[in-house]
């Protein structure tokens, strides 16, 4: 068994781990080891944005986790892929860039993650990015992460969808990551110069030029090494050999919302009954490890398109070849976008303070994994209720680190979540039936006009919903009995051990998780280094001043909150 010594050991080269590797090695005095189970991200299928469905469904690049039968989804097992490659899930995701609503982070602060309110986190969102249209009080212009709008909504269906939202009485928003999330507008993506701009491209590659960073791939971490209640290093396997690495300062888990709780449990940190059932010695009882698991669900609302403008006409082998060759030669065209170029964020009902429903608009009718393309022209909306009340868990099954944990989200367990999806169906139909869509809207393919009653909608949703691939909150940050880390991201009761990734979110934000995960890592890096936090922002947030009494604003005056 070989042994090496470092100042910091980071487990997981994903959305958070790559950020930490970069920021911690800015100080040349810090020797950092970054461990990743996967390998290189240089595949064309990772780097080409339009090929996003391939790495997500490839064992080489993603853990192909599957849930236990979900009792409120007719006992379906749900696919839960997680990145297993440099860049982690930022190398296999849909590249959608959504920070979440300002109130999501105020909610974190109120849940016990003191200091993680919107005023404090906005500067770290700005620090992380370079927004293609220039910096301002909300957007950054000097950060590693390139963000743009893909092909700038050249397909007419994108803008028709935005106009339909306006026709239905909702806001149009110039920047849902800026002043105002609520409304319909252009969607943003982590693409730069036509390439997927993962955290591997944005953060890790520049850091790998530094002598004080060591990156080890194909390394499966077995456990965190403990000396009493102090983390001293990790044990990992590479090429059939077992190694130990020691950390003089800290061990930081950035293995994601499945990997981080699983690794804590393998190390003897977690709920006593879960560890004992798996035959693992309890080193530190921490009941919240693996609990509070949350995710977003979504389904596809599909329509025929009356005009031949959708992407369905580009799915034959000849057009795919042309798109691929153009991307290889020029890094532009349809190969340089994820195709989700317009979107919407709305509130499901009066009395909901900030948006809890999210739309991704796609000018094609197909599955997210690229399969089962509709025969003919069509378009679809990915729609989901994004503030679920249902909670699940990640539980270790055995002391063998190669055995996947038990995962169950308990999707739609809570009646409020089922009600939210009924709102999704009814509000979407109203939006798509606005005049702006008249020249494009054909017959409803899915759910189908016959699905009308609560019971019919519920039955459709149980069979049609899929994960939006946003597992989170399984090592929540806070101070209550289920909190795993404190507001400094330190594991309660264990010295020199932190968790920094989406697992520490107290609640799931209204949006995709890559951006807030990067923000968490940026802020955590300052906490780890003992640096003064960035100056809080006073940038105002636009809200509907009558949210308590109406579901949409119509043409009413907006209010600054």
Binding-site residue positions: 7-36, 85, 93-96, 221
Count the alpha carbons within 13 Å of 491 in the hemisphere toward its beta carbon: 35
* 470 given a catalytic annotation: yes
DSSP string, 504-557: G-SS--SS-SHHHHHHHHHHHHHHHHTPPPPPPP----EE-TTTTT-SS-TTPP
Kindly name the residue from 79, 188, 470, 492 that is annotated as catalytic. 470
Q: Which residues are annotated as a binding site for FAD?
A: 7-36, 85, 93-96, 221
Query: Are the beta carbons of 293 and 393 closer than 8 angstroms?
Result: yes
393-395 and 269-270 as β-strands: parallel, antiparallel, unpaired? unpaired
Q: What SS3 string covers 115-174? A: CCCHHHHHHHHHHHEEECCCCCCCCCECCCEEEECCCCCCCHHHHHHHHHHHHCCCCECC
Query: Are the beta carbons of 177 and 99 closer than 8 angstroms?
Result: yes
What is the rounded distance in angstroms from the CA atom of residue 441 to the CA atom of residue 438? 5
Give the angle 119-121-127 at the CA atoms, nearest 5°.
120
What is the rounded distance in angstroms from the CA atom of residue 303 to the CA atom of residue 424? 15
Query: Are the beta carbons of 266 and 280 closer than 8 angstroms?
Result: yes
Residue matched to tokens 């090494």: 225
Q: Where are the beta strands (DSSP E) in 365-509?
A: 378-385, 393-395, 406-408, 441-446, 466-467, 497-499
Catalytic positions, written as ranges: 470
């Amino acid at each position: 068994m070989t042994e090496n010594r470092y100042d910091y050991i980071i487990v997981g080269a994903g959305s958070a781990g790559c950020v930490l590797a970069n920021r911690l090695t800015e100080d040349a005095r810090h020797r950092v080891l970054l461990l990743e189970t996967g390998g290189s991200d240089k595949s064309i299928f990772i780097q080409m944005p339009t090929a996003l469905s391939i790495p997500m469904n490839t064992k080489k690049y993603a853990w192909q986790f599957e849930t236990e039968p979900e009792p409120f989804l007719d006992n379906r097992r749900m696919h839960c892929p997680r990145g297993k490659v440099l860049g982690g899930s930022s190398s296999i995701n849909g590249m959608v860039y959504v920070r979440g609503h300002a109130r999501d982070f105020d909610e974190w602060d109120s849940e016990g993650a003191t200091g993680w309110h919107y005023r404090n986190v906005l500067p770290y969102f700005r620090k992380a990015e370079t927004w293609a249209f220039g910096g301002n009080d909300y957007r950054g212009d000097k950060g590693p992460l390139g963000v743009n709008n893909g092909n700038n909504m050249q397909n007419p269906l994108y803008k028709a969808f935005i106009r339909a939202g306006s026709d239905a009485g909702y806001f149009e928003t110039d920047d849902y990551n800026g002043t105002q999330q609520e409304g319909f507008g252009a969607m943003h993506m982590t693409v730069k110069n036509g390439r997927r701009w993962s955290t591997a491209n944005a953060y890790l590659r520049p850091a790998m030029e530094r002598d004080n960073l060591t990156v080890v791939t194909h390394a499966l971490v077995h456990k965190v090494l403990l000396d009493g209640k102090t983390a001293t290093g990790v044990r990992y396997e590479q090429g059939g050999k077992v190694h130990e690495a020691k950390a003089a300062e800290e061990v930081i888990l950035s293995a994601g919302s499945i990997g981080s709780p699983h690794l804590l449990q393998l190390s003897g940190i977690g709920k006593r009954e879960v560890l004992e059932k798996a035959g693992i010695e309890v080193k530190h009882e921490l009941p919240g490890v693996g609990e509070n698991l949350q995710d977003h669900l979504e389904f596809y609302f599909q329509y025929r398109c009356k005009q031949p403008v959708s992407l369905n006409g580009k799915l034959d082998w000849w057009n795919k070849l042309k798109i691929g060759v153009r991307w290889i030669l020029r890094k532009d065209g349809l190969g340089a976008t994820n195709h989700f170029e317009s979107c919407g964020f709305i509130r499901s009902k009066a009395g909901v303070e900030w948006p809890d429903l999210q739309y991704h608009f796609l000018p094609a009718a197909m599955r997210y994994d690229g399969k089962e393309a509709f025969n003919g022209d069509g378009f679809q909306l990915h729609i989901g209720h994004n503030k679920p009340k249902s909670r699940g868990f990640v539980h270790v099954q055995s002391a063998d680190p190669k055995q996947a944990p038990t995962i169950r989200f308990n999707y739609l367990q809570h009646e409020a979540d089922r009600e939210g999806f009924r709102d999704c169906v009814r509000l979407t139909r109203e939006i798509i039936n606005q005049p702006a869509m008249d020249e494009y809207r054909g017959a409803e393919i899915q759910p189908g006009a016959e699905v009308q009653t609560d019971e019919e909608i519920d039955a459709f949703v149980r069979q049609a919903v899929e994960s939006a691939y946003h597992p989170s909150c399984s090592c929540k940050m806070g101070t209550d009995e289920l909190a795993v880390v404190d507001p400094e991201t330190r594991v309660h009761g264990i010295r020199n051990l932190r968790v920094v990734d989406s697992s520490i979110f107290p609640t799931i934000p209204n949006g995709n998780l890559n951006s807030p995960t990067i923000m968490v890592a940026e802020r955590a890096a300052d906490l780890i280094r003992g640096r003064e936090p960035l100056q809080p922002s006073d940038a105002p947030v636009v809200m509907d001043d009558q949210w308590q009494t109406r579901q949409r604003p119509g043409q009413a005056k907006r209010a600054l909150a």
